[in-house]
Amino acid sequence: MAFARVFIDGVDTDPNTAAIPVGDVGFVRGYGVFEVVKAVDGVCFRLPEHLDRLERSAAMLGIELPSRELLTRWAADAADGIPEAIVRMLVSAGDDPWEGPCRVIVTGEPASPQMASLRLLPVNAPWHSDGAEWELLRGKTLSYANNFAAIRQARMAGFDDAVLIGRSGRVLEGPTFTVGWVVDEDGRDIYETPAMTTGILDSITRTAVL
Amino acid sequence: MAFARVFIDGVDTDPNTAAIPVGDVGFVRGYGVFEVVKAVDGVCFRLPEHLDRLERSAAMLGIELPSRELLTRWAADAADGIPEAIVRMLVSAGDDPWEGPCRVIVTGEPASPQMASLRLLPVNAPWHSDGAEWELLRGKTLSYANNFAAIRQARMAGFDDAVLIGRSGRVLEGPTFTVGWVVDEDGRDIYETPAMTTGILDSITRTAVL
């Protein structure tokens, strides 16, 4: 993936050469967490809520984050000068899965234009919680291979993206988006989404819209 | 993680500076596959079987691998000069999840001494297939955060490692090892393991022992 700006542990780095050690456990084991935030004119959408979730995810993996002040500054720096930016915050456990320190990559890139509609392929996602409780539930980790394989499967079949179906047969969420729908209730539009008890990601957009 | 030897797409690289681009989707999305092989005096244990599995895993993610001849040579090079070596083959989809080319990191490091016994903490693993079929079943991807979090949980509780328990309550496998046991049948030792229908990884060691 190509980025316009890259900050590695806060250091402004040339995006063409920005690199991490091959032994980083975010790479070797997908052991890390992340957030993606949209920024318009340098202002990130609900950044505190995204950082709250990043902190919860990091705590699940025992990763100690830099201060909120630093993360906030790096996010602003990554969005700087890009009118509509996607800011990614990728935090791996670093070179040692248990000892730290973590490694923080904050990137900025121009947002892609949103599509007016999407054709979605339903994909079975038995790896999804779909109601089962466990310690990492709703952690947003770097281990997204299953989600990305679902997108690939959808594209191969001529669709734009996938929508994940749980073991129960319920619609859960997209591989990288949340799902909602509008019900007409006596002429009023009621917005609905899958319940949080399905184990879907605690989407900031979902909470903002509900 | 620290390596003694690193080959990046076949290029012998200084392990102290060996790096991959931050945009590698193996890092950003855990979108890649891997194998770990032990080598004694430069001879890898059942390398063809490991490469078979690597090919199956890569096919699940739509990753096109370099030739078997190259992978075999790089594995030998990574083990060279290390009496008891762990050879890792890490293959990410590269800088673009869909277009390729892949990126191949082959590393060598001295094997750690094996422990005579392990104290294992049972950890619930609802993300595990445990009998559910799907397209990525038994793919050995870089997305190992759940497994590594299970190891961490076990260590925090004073155990050496974890053993994964599925939704059905069955013992499945370890986060990075296969599970077997010996049954005394009329004075004969019978070796048993969980069934492949549970969706456990198709362990080379398991097949060699059975």
So what's the pLDDT on residue B209?
85
Output the pLDDT for position B210: 84
Q: Chain A: give the shortest CA distance to residue B190, in Å.
A: 33
Given this model, what pLDDT does residue A114 score?
87
B82: amino acid identity, one letter: I
Q: Which tens digit of pLDDT belongs to each residue from A136-166? A: 899 999 999 999 999 999 999 999 999 999 9
Alpha-carbon distance values, A12 to A8, A82, A89, A106 (Å): 7, 16, 14, 10
Query: b/e per residue, A57-67, with b = 16+ CB within 10 A?
Result: bbebbbbebee
Those residues of chain B that have pLDDT short of 50 are none
Q: What dihedral do alpha carbons B87, B98, A25, A13 form, nearest 10°?
A: 120
Domains of chain B, each with CATH number or no CATH: 5-110 (3.30.470.10), 120-209 (3.20.10.10)
B58 vs B33: CA distance, rounded Å: 6
With a CB-CB cutoff of 8 Å, which residues 15-74 of chain B face chain A? Answer: 18-32, 34, 60-62
3-state secondary structure of A103: strand
Model confidence over A32-83: pLDDT tens digits? 999 999 999 999 999 999 999 999 999 999 999 999 999 999 999 999 999 9
Quick: pLDDT tens for A5-16.
Answer: 999 999 999 999
Note the pLDDT of residue A45.
96
| Shortest distance, CA B210 to any CA of chain A (angstroms) | 28
Residue B74: strand, helix, or coil: helix
Residues B152, A98: C-beta atoms closer than 8 Å: yes
Q: Are A121 and A159 in contact (CB under 8 A)?
A: yes
pLDDT at residue A210 is higher than 90: no
Q: Report d(CA A97, CA A100) in Å as an integer.
A: 7
Task: Tell me the percentage of chain A whose pLDDT exceeds 70.
Answer: 100
**What are phi and psi for residue A109, nearest 5 degrees?**
-150, 155
Cβ neighbours for A73, distance < 8 A, ≥ 6 positions apart: A10
Distance of alpha carbon B156 from alpha carbon B158, whole angstroms: 5
Identify the band that residue A209 occupies on the pLDDT scale cut at 50, 70 and 90: confident
- With beta carbons less than 8 A apart as the criterion, state whether B123 and B150 touch: yes
The count of CB pairs under 8 A between chains A and B is: 179
Q: What is the DSSP string of B80-149?
A: TT-SEEEEEEEEE-TTSTTT---EEEEEEEEPPPPPS---EEEEE-TTS-TT---TTTT--BS--HHHHH
Site from B29, B90, B91, B135 to mutate, A interface, most A CB atoms within 10 angstroms:
B29
CA distance A73 to B83: 48
* Secondary structure letter of residue A141 according to DSSP: B
What are the chain A neighbours of B34 within 8 Å (beta carbons)? Answer: 28
User: Quick one: which of B26, B22, B20, B17 has its CA closest to A11?
Assistant: B22
Cβ contact B136–A149 (<8 Å): yes
In chain B, what residues touch A149 (CB-CB under 8 Å)?
A: 31, 60-61, 135-136, 139
The pLDDT value recorded for residue A135 is 86
Spell B187-201 as b/e; 16+ CB within 10 A means b.
Answer: eeeeeebbeeebbbb
**Structure token pair of residue A65:** 């984050």
From chain A, pick out residues whose CB is under 8 angstroms from the CB of B24.
27
Residues of A in Cβ contact (< 8 Å) with B19: 19-22
Q: Is the CB of B27 less than 8 angstroms away from the CB of A26? A: yes
Q: What digits encode the pLDDT tens for the residues A109-119? A: 999 998 899 99
Residue of B nearest to A94 (CA): B1
φ/ψ of residue B59, rounded to 5: -60, -35
Residue B65 has a pLDDT of: 98
Which chain B residues touch A18 with a CB distance below 8 Å? 21-23
